[in-house]
Amino acid sequence: MDFRFINKDKAIAVISCKSYLTRTAVEVDYCKKMLAYVHRVWLFAECCGPESVKLIRDEALDIGYENFWYLYTWSRTTDDIVDSVEGWLHFIETIKSLKMS
């Protein structure tokens, strides 16, 4: 990751990045604190369980995150990995749209 410190008034979005995410690990306090500084707080996970995607997305949106993306799902029981190409492309397009607005 590439970290940059900027004036909070210049922030367009905050992206909370996680390695492996479960529904119970979605941070309520972090989102609420960041919403005091910026209108867009997003959640991005490297991976999560295949059964958890909808649960995580619903929890994140209920808490106040504007978006949730993940790179792939990984099953702890079968060791199957499934890429989220569509999610990655949507993330990239959403980032690009910020430059236009």
> For residue 10, how many C-alpha atoms fall within 13 Å in the half-sphere facing its CB?
4
28-57: b (≥16 Cβ within 10 Å) or e? eeebeebbeeeebbbbbbebbbbebbeebb
pLDDT truncated to tens, each residue of the chain (101 aa)? 677 788 888 888 999 999 999 999 999 999 999 999 899 999 999 999 999 999 999 999 999 999 999 999 999 999 999 999 999 999 999 999 987 55
pLDDT, tens digit, 9 for 90 and up, residues 2-31: 777 888 888 889 999 999 999 999 999 999
How is the chain split into domains, by residue range?
14-100
Burial of 65 (0-12, 13-18, 19+ CB in 10 A): buried
